[in-house]
Structure 1
Amino acid sequence: MIPNDTDLPQIAILCASVPYLLQIRQGHFPALLRMKRLLLLEPVMALCAFSYFLNAPLMQQYVYRRLWVQMTNTTYPISDISRCTANTSNNSNSYEDVQKQASLFSLYTDVLCTIPSLVVILLLVTYSDRAGRKITIIMPVIGMLINTLAYLTVSYFELNIYLLIGSSILSALCGGLGTFLGGCFAYIADLCDTRRQKTLRMAGVDMMIGVLAGGASISTGYFLKTAGFNWPFLTSALILCLSLIYAVFVLEETIKPPTDAVIIDLLPQRSAIKQMVCGVYQMLAGGSRSCKIALALLIVIFISFSFGYIGGVSMITLYELNKPLCWTEILIGYGSALYTSVFLTSFVGVSLFTYCGMPQLLIVLLGILSLAISMVMTAFAKTTSFMFIAIASMLLSKMPFPVLRSMMSEIISKSEQGALFAFIYFLEILSNNVSTGVFNSIYAATVSWCPGFVFLLSAGLCVIPLSVIGVVVLMRVDLTKEAQMTNPLILEEENPLEGPSQKSP
């Protein structure tokens, strides 16, 4: 049985106190802190993934409904059928106005969070090489918890929704999702000795995230319809608390810092950052001319595809809320669940095509075409069934990410792998945040006359990576030869066809 809403403040205060309770000194509770620890990261990722995908559509719908009430001075229309059937000439422009403001709200949040999140990603990931990986896992979870509790507080007390931008900035200062995923995969890489072991471990994590994301997305709609916003936010906060407790007290550290090291040591941290910058420079400046050309072209393909992909996908929920679709929270949950299955289907696609011996660039090409077709169909989707078909056509669109990471990894020497992925992840996060802001501003400007324009733009941007793939083919850049020159021992030990699946999308 669900408790009364009057119990929410007490439970929320208990959740908020967890980060402070976790800062207790070892002398106070030695038995608890000396308990046997596990090298098992999957529970942390499972709990955080479920909480994140439970919150993602919930937060956007909450902002949308609050803006609706503020701008129309009417209650938000809730019905088991499409809200468009109840639309009249008096509020025909309300949907467009609310869509614009919701899009601008997302734009402000993304712009203000981009710079701090990028800086913290570099600092925390670099510092984890000497202080341990757990700092890159615990700090982002604390940030997610703060942001979730902020949404719960604003929802319960009906405070100004623009306070949520401040909580998002605090979450970004803790690292955000990018730092969390980077730290988790670095943790897994520390535990794995061989490429095959790493591939199986990361593939299992991808499948777990996909399944939990789908389940969370479906449950969001029913949870929202049954209990409103407060209880889903509280549930998410409790899940994050469990994740935080596990990460602090149960999870074992893979990198042991020196016993005489202090927690805050600015000189070693500056030295680590200097080493990272030097490593990135050596990666870009070293190697043969053909190797540098191949790496540059692959980076352009990766970033340009990521820009169009994230920009288009981030607009889907707002588009579903707008007329003529006007989806209910239940339909949004099913749509989000179908989209999250992309993690599973793309992994299956990469595995199957690799087993069949398909060239890596052709796998990338199929993934880009999958996104372009889906975005074009979404732009012209006017019915629920057609919208589901448009989302389903995206099921192979994640394939380019792991394949491109693997290709870049193979043409860079083993001693520069850390610099490579630090550089790629920085560019990816920067591209994702910029694309979300750009697409939000474009959507706000075009929603009144062409709501699907942003999806056509996303499909059009796919021409850039497709063109660069053509350049790679025309230049006859032999990526296999470059890989053999830089990593001959690695390619001799293992089958190079296993490369595309060794990194997570």
Structure 2
Amino acid sequence: MTSHSLALLSLKSSPFPQKPVLFLSMFSVALQAPLSTQYLWDRISEDLGFNGSRRSECSNSSVPPDPLQKEVETLTAHWNLYISLGFFLVGIMVVPLLGSWSDMAGRRPVLILPNIGLALQAVVYLVVMYLKLPVVYFLVGRLLSGLSGDFNAILAGISGSFRDVGQHHWSYINPFWLVLATNVASALYAFLFVHESVYPDPSAKLLTARHHKAVWHLYSTGGSSGEDGGRLRRCKLWLYTLCFFLVVTVHFGSRDLFVLYELSSPLCWGSALIGYGSAAQHLAYLSSLLGLKVMQRCLKDSWVALVGLASNITGLVVFSVADTTELMFTGYGLCFLFMAATPVLRSKLSKLVGPSEQGALFASVACVESLCFLVGSSIFNSLYPASLHFMKGFPFLFAALVLFIPAGIIGWVCAFILFIVFLILNR
């Protein structure tokens, strides 16, 4: 799941014709994310001769852990990291081009191209599964998706158990056919029904340094228009971008570990429970959206973001000590508002620039998201195997601690505003 599920919270403000594109793309990404990790786990387990998660004594703490389990966990985490790294190196160059280019060439191409790339990725994954090719070919699929901008580019313009336990790795094929069909449908819908919101400039070029310069100009000057003066606007851009970076890095990094954490002891979840856990995680996007609408009626945006961060922090702390199914689902329940901060930060960034700079802003935010994907995957997929010997859930605790930084920044801004209001009222 690329940044990918974050768009659910943007549906409420997007034009109607674009909503099906966002939903279909989000659905395909959310569907394949946990399945990819499970497939890597099964293939690596098969190669190493490990089937500990299927032993009856897997969740029995009195039985010494199988040494192969740690190797499987480590290799799966590292392969997640390698795939993320390859995707980042391509996406960091492509996304700024697409985002800034869309300000001149139009938004529709940026809705169509990434879906084609995601469909090609699904085709590569299916070929790997049918032919049982080495998992390194998953990297080829991610590179193809990265070349088209992936789900981050789409932001410009059902979870559950899909596996039959008895069918081994072949049971991944049907879900990925669904992923492929969804991406093709999304691309066709964008081509046929989405109306252009920007008057296209036929002379607009994609491969030019101008697009990267537009992103640099935005952050070096604060943009040409917005709510505040240039210097204050530039300061806010950097602060809110830093908050966005930390929040999304934690989101991507911790998300990579949920399936690994649940597959191994002491939880030893099967595909059904992993499906329910994924469903609970994605229901939190809906509850965050509902909570966002309710809280915005009585709270300022900054306070809404703080409530969302508090929900995320408490849930991560519970995950860090979860050694039973009940505790794990308690953590999912506490995270029911964990995504409320992200759309607030997006909204604050969007309000700081003018309409003609929205594409450049999107490009910069998408680059930040790609960087979040790399940094989150690098830190958490490295930290997880390194902390297995002293605290398996330590990466979740570390994630909770990181979130105190954006909470502090946003809280400081809130306190400063309250102080100014207090001075004005007491003059």
Paired residue for 1:395, among 324, 331, 336? Answer: 336
TM superposition shift of 1:452: 0.4
Q: Which residue of 1 aligns with 2:279?
A: 337
Indicate yes or no: 2:119 matched with 1:119: no
Q: Specify the alignment match of 2:221 in structure 1.
A: 282
Superposed CA deviations along residues 34-79 of structure 1, whole A, max 9, x for unmatched, are xxxx98233333332332222111111111100001112x568658
Report the residue type matching 1:132 in the other structure: G
Match of 1:25 in 2: none
Q: Does 1:133 align with 2:107?
A: yes
Of 343-352 and 296-305, more deviation after overlay is shown by 296-305
CA contact (8 A) 1:223 1:232 kept: no
Residue number among 106, 118, 124 corresponding to 1:144 in the alignment = 118
After superposition, give the CA deviation of every residue in 1:271-311 in whole Å (9 maximum; x if it has no partner).
45444443443216992554444443333322222222332
State the Cα deviation string for residues 170-189 of structure 1 (Å, max 9, x = none): 2111111111222xxx3xxx
RMSD: 3.1
Identity percentage of aligned residues: 29
Does residue 245 (structure 1) correspond to residue 184 (structure 2)? The answer is no
| Cα distance in 1 for residues equivalent to 2:349 and 2:178 | 40
Out of 153-162 and 398-407, give the one that drifted further.
398-407
How far, CA to CA, are the matches of 2:249 and 2:420 in structure 1? 24
Aligned to 1:452: 393
Alignment-derived partner of residue 299 in structure 1: 241
- The answer to whether the 8 A contact 1:69-1:76 is kept is no
Determine which of 406, 431, 445 is the counterpart of 2:347.
406
The offset of 1:342, in angstroms, is 1.7
1:487 alignment counterpart:
none
46, 50, 53: which one aligns with 2:23: 46
Which structure 2 residues correspond to residues 170-209 of structure 1 after superposition, within 5 A?
A: 170-182=144-156, 186=157
The residue number in structure 2 matching 1:463 is 404
Residue deviations 1:362-398, cap 9 Å, x none? Answer: 2221111111111110011111111011111111111
Pair 1:234-2:177 in alignment: yes
CA shift at 1:242, angstroms?
2.7
Work out the CA distance in 2 between the residues paired with 1:163 and 1:250: 34
Give the structure-2-normalised TM-score.
Answer: 0.84
Greater Cα offset, 226-235 or 446-455: 226-235
Where 2:155 maps in the other structure, the secondary structure is helix
1:398 partner letter: M
Structure 1 CA distance for aligned equivalents of residues 39 and 335 of structure 2: 26
What residue identity is the alignment partner of 1:107?
L
Q: Would the aligned equivalents of 2:84 and 2:373 in 1 still touch at CA under 8 Å?
A: no
TM-score (norm 1): 0.72
Shift of 1:224: 8.6
Q: Counterpart in 2 of 1:441?
A: 382
Map of 2:261 onto structure 1: 319
Which of the numbers 69, 85, 91 marks the counterpart of 1:95?
69
Deviating more after overlay: 418-427 vs 447-456: 418-427
Rounded to whole Å, the distance in 2 between the matches of 1:220 and 1:433 is 28
Q: Distance in 2 between matches of 1:477 and 1:281?
A: 29
> Looking at CA atoms only, which structure, 1 or 2, has the larger radius of gyration?
1
Amino acid at match of 2:345: L
Q: CA 1:266–1:397 in structure 2 vs 1: closer, same or farther (change >3 Å)?
A: closer
**1:41–1:474: structure 2 CA closer, same or farther, 3 Å change rule?**
closer
Aligned pair 1:58/2:35, yes or no? yes
Q: Hey, what's the Cα distance between the residues in 1 that align with 2:16 and 2:416?
A: 46
The question of whether the paired residues in 2 share the 8 Å contact of 1:43 and 1:243 is answered with yes
2:316: which partner in 1? 375
Residue equivalent to 1:165: 139
Q: CA deviation at 1:141?
A: 1.2
Aligned equivalents of 1:401, 1:344: Cα separation in 2? 13
- Residues 58 and 246 of structure 1: CA distance in aligned 2, closer, same or farther (over 3 Å): same
Please state if 1:153 is matched with 2:153: no
- Superposition deviation, residue 447 in structure 1: 2.2
SS at match of 2:278: helix
Alpha-carbon distance change, 302 to 272 in structure 1, aligned in 2, over 3 angstroms: closer
Instruction: State the 1:107 CA deviation.
Output: 0.8
Question: Which amino acid is the alignment partner of residue 371 of structure 1?
Answer: N
- Aligned residues of 1:82 and 1:327 also touching (Cα < 8 A): no
Residue 169 of structure 1 deviates from its aligned partner by 1.4
The reply to whether residue 347 of structure 1 matches residue 289 of structure 2 is yes
Report SS of the residue matched to 2:102. helix
| 1:342 alignment partner AA | A
Contact 1:224/1:329 (CA < 8 Å) preserved in 2?
A: no
**Does the CA-based 8 Å contact 2:222-2:231 persist in structure 1?**
no
Identify if the C-alpha distance between structure 1 residues 180 and 93 changes in structure 2 by more than 3 Å, giving closer, same or farther. Answer: same
Point out the more displaced range, 326-335 or 140-149.
140-149
Cα deviation 1:252-274 (Å, max 9, x = unaligned)? 4444535xx37x8468x444544
Contact 1:446–1:453 (8 Å) recurs in 2: yes
Equivalent pair of 1:55/1:236 in contact (CA under 8 Å): yes
Shift of 1:478: 8.0
Task: State the distance in 1 between where 2:150 and 2:333 align.
Answer: 29
Deviations 1:95-139 (A, max 9, x none): 211000000001111112112112111111122222222221222
Query: What secondary structure sits across from 1:347 in the alignment?
Result: helix
8 A contact 2:126–2:173 mirrored in 1: yes
